Amino acid sequence: MILLIWAGGSVAFARAGDIVDGRALFQGTRPFSAGIAATDRHLPAAFAGCANCHGTNGAGKTEGGMSAPAIGKVSLESLRGPLAPYRSKDAVLAAIEAGIGRGGDPLGSIMPRYTLSADEREALFSYLARVGTPADLPPGVSADALRLGLLLPLSGPHAKQGQAVADGITRVITATNHAGGIHGRRIELIARDTAMGERAALNSLVRQDIYAIVGGMWDATDDALEQRLAEARIPVVASLVVRQDARPTNRWISDLMASRTAQKKLLEATLLSCQTNGPRWMLQMGKDAIRGDAGVVEVTDDRVRQLPAPEADGCLGYDLSNLGVVKSEVTEHWRRRIVLPFPAAVLSDASGDIWTLLGAASSRIAMEALSAAGASLHETSLIEVLPQIAGFEPIPGAPVEFSVGRANAWDAGILALDPEDNSESRNMGPWAAAKKED
């Protein structure tokens, strides 16, 4: 495709590929060919993109007392006070490469001087004619459609939960499309099966030009996989990954559920408040166990199987991964406290099993974030807008708690099972069965 672009008041021709490549360089989603030598400041690839200083829409921004001007077509070809406009392609490129500004005056030293290849010169100039205009759209987004990716185990030993998550996500998006989509765009889904290899599935998804991943399940200890996500500049909205430790806000990844460390801390505090004359035991959770308070003893599976005689009283705490172990072994006189990676209110939703509910919750968060982000999107829109939707309830009674310093939607919750009420939510069964397979 050949496009008409601005060139100092005249018209020039540019290949569509130049604009795509220019956008990637401007937004920082692709490194410059010279690597760290691309700027006189030797900026790492993540900081060399023009958007870091001039904004994702090229409208300029002020940060840390330093201001970077607007650099879109209209701004560059307009007068700026007494300063002349940039009148040609060569003038624009001279500013980028040599720091020569309007009327030949030098730009401030804060502006890096770039070393560009011939292709990069064409690509960047072509994109400057589009940045900040309605046609300036990120990968996966068109005027009437937006593509989201699913990264789930859809076959193999975990297919049941993966398919259930996909079903919950699909139901919400189908309803969204029936209601007219988001800002006039139909939501499309592209799924990849992690059972064939998580990294291979991710690489395949990246090649599909998706805008974001919704939900998603993968090994959270695979740093290389999450680095690949960051390098691809694909935001992840409300993943179903349960991490060992809570992570600070990440530019590209947000999670739905609380970390295992957060669950352990809540469980320990809950056991201390449990009313009993007997012991308070916390069943060991994971390899990096948190030692209990003086009033809470952390125990192993074997010890739980040797609980005191039926007339004894006590409090036993554990997480969902140990649900199957404890269910048939605990005595009827013991109080139980089950810690959840999500608010207990999630279990009150009787519309499906837990995996379907979690998939639907992730999808609703993504739809709410897309709605709040507006029609003009860039690569980081969804992650940046999440703090603005704090308080939104994807499931009644379970509001999201995203903030500038927090990247997971929900806090942990507690399900209390006492001797006089030994029932469990019917939604616990599917979760327990799935966790036993892990």
Whether the pLDDT of residue 149 is over 70: the answer is yes
- pLDDT tens figures, 191-213: 999 998 999 999 999 889 899 99
Q: What percent of the chain has pLDDT over 70?
A: 86
* Sign of the dihedral defined by the CA atoms of residues 318, 321, 325, 329, in that order: positive
Task: Say if 383 falls within a structural domain.
Answer: no
Mean pLDDT of 374-398: 93
Task: Say if 396 falls within a structural domain.
Answer: no
| Residues 184, 79 share a domain | no
C-alpha angle with apex 366: 241 to 61, nearest 5 degrees? Answer: 105
Task: Say if 298 falls within a structural domain.
Answer: yes
Amino acid identity at 370: L
Point out the domain boundary residue: 70, 95, 128.
128
**In which band, very low, low, confident or very high, does the pLDDT at 287 lie, cut at 50, 70 and 90?**
low
Listed range (61-75, 93-107, 393-407) with the worst mean pLDDT? 61-75
Task: Say if 408 falls within a structural domain.
Answer: no
| Residues 236, 336 share a domain | no
Task: Say if 71 falls within a structural domain.
Answer: yes
Task: Say if 34 falls within a structural domain.
Answer: yes
Task: Say if 391 falls within a structural domain.
Answer: no
DSSP state of 406: B
- Closest alpha carbon to 428 in 304, 323, 286: 323
Q: What is the pTM of this model?
A: 0.82
Q: Which residues lie across from 4 on neighbouring strands? A: 13
| Residues 218, 273 share a domain | no
Which stretches of 273-353 are DSSP H helices? 301-304, 323-327
- Beta-carbon contacts of 415 under 8 Å, excluding residues fewer than 6 positions away, are 337, 338, 340, 344, 347, 424, 425, 428
| Residues 306, 233 share a domain | no
Among 101-110, 140-149, 227-236, 245-254, which range has the highest average pLDDT? 140-149
| Residues 154, 90 share a domain | no
Distances in Å between the alpha carbon of 136 and those of 274, 275, 368, 384? Answer: 57, 61, 22, 18
Task: Say if 227 falls within a structural domain.
Answer: yes
CB neighbour class for 230 (10 Å; exposed up to 12, middle 13-18, buried from 19): middle
| Residues 267, 253 share a domain | no
Mean pLDDT of 241-258: 82
CATH number for position 220: 3.40.50.2300
Amino acid identity at 67: S
| Residues 290, 158 share a domain | no
| Structural domains in the chain (count) | 3
| Residues 94, 76 share a domain | yes
Point out the domain boundary residue: 128, 161, 196.
128
Average pLDDT, the chain: 85
- pLDDT tens figures, 316-364: 999 988 887 776 566 677 888 999 999 999 988 766 789 999 999 999 9
Mean pLDDT of 371-396: 93
| Residues 430, 286 share a domain | yes
- E-only strand ranges, 310-424: 314-319, 334-340, 413-417
Query: Residue 68: which domain range?
Result: 2-128
